[in-house]
Amino acid sequence: MLGTRAYALIDAETGKVVSAKSIKLLPDLLRCKAEFVEAPKRGADMPPVRITLPTGLSVRSDAGDVDRVLPVHFHRRVTLARVAPEDFTIDPYPPDIEGAGPGGNRDAVVEQKLGAALFAAIGAPSPVPSRSFLDMFPVSVMTTSTLAKLNELAPNSRIDERRFRMNVIVKTDQPGFVENDWVGLELALGGSVRLNVALLDPRCVMRTLAQEDLPQEAEVLRTLVRHSRVELPGLLQFQCAGAYAVVTTNQGSVQVGDPALV
């Protein structure tokens, strides 16, 4: 999708990509905002972004002092980058919730490969380009039925769509985790966009973090562990909500309100 994950921070000391999942290292990353200074155009270089820090200070990605301003704020030597390292690696933090971390890890920083580097490590073809900052797949999809089910299971929590950071949310009327049955099927959006639903979306500590007016909320992840634990092909069991997809048409646009058909 045009403009998705065009920039990211790199930790200068480790060479790893900085992620909000690395909450032990950069706890307020989700409180930062970034927006393009002009609309991206297909086939052209990505325009600069304006980064606004929680303090209210802002700096453009093309400013001469951007690699001075950001390290001062984060108290770490970080640099802004347009392409991911070939060995795209982050330091995520599995929370202290039983079953929430892969391999039984909890309350500890665990190194993890992402993007094309992850697929190279498991010997599988990558659905994302080399040096892209995309975690695993180009597009993420969720249904309103899944959000409604999670709110039903955890009525005292604020399970808001913003916690999941989806590219596409499809309004559905059926009950339950509807998109769990879409893996392997084609999803048509509007008149010309086609997606192949490839894999259920494993969820991590990101769902629990405070952002905007949403508080820190560990029950979101606990609810997924209890009610949506799934064995992913070739991988371990993960708590899942939503699904990953790949684009099967190379052009097209989607508007809010367009029909969706599986």
Q: What mean pLDDT, rounded, does the chain reach? A: 91
pLDDT for residue 224: 92
Q: How confident is the model at residue 108 (pLDDT cuts 50, 70, 90)?
A: confident
> For residues 101 and 95, is the Cβ–Cβ distance under 8 A?
yes
pLDDT for residue 103: 65
Q: How confident is the model at residue 47 (pLDDT cuts 50, 70, 90)?
A: very high
Model confidence pLDDT, tens digit, residues 140-177: 999 999 999 999 999 999 889 999 999 999 999 999 99
For 197, phi and psi rounded to 5 degrees? Answer: -75, 120
Model confidence pLDDT, tens digit, residues 113-150: 999 999 999 999 999 999 999 999 999 999 999 999 99
CA R_g for the chain:
18
SS3 80: strand
Q: How confident is the model at residue 95 (pLDDT cuts 50, 70, 90)?
A: confident
> For residues 66 and 59, is the Cβ–Cβ distance under 8 A?
yes
Model confidence pLDDT, tens digit, residues 181-217: 999 999 999 988 999 999 999 998 888 898 888 999 8
Q: How confident is the model at residue 78 (pLDDT cuts 50, 70, 90)?
A: very high
In the chain, how many H helices and how many E strands? 4, 14
CA pair distance 116, 137, nearest whole angstrom = 10
**Torsion over CA: 52, 53, 59, 60 (sign):** negative
CA pair distance 195, 141, nearest whole angstrom = 10
| Residue 197 token pair | 């639903």
CA distances from 4 to 51, 63, 120, 142, 167 (A): 15, 21, 22, 17, 9
pLDDT for residue 102: 65
pLDDT for residue 104: 66
Closest CA to 95 of 213, 199, 225, 193: 225
Q: Which residues fall within 8 angstroms of residue 140, CB to CB, at 6 or more apart?
A: 164, 165, 166, 167, 168, 201, 242, 243, 244, 245
Average pLDDT (43-51) is 95
For 189, phi and psi rounded to 5 degrees? Answer: -120, 120
Q: Which residues fall within 8 angstroms of residue 68, CB to CB, at 6 or more apart?
A: none
pTM of the complete model:
0.90
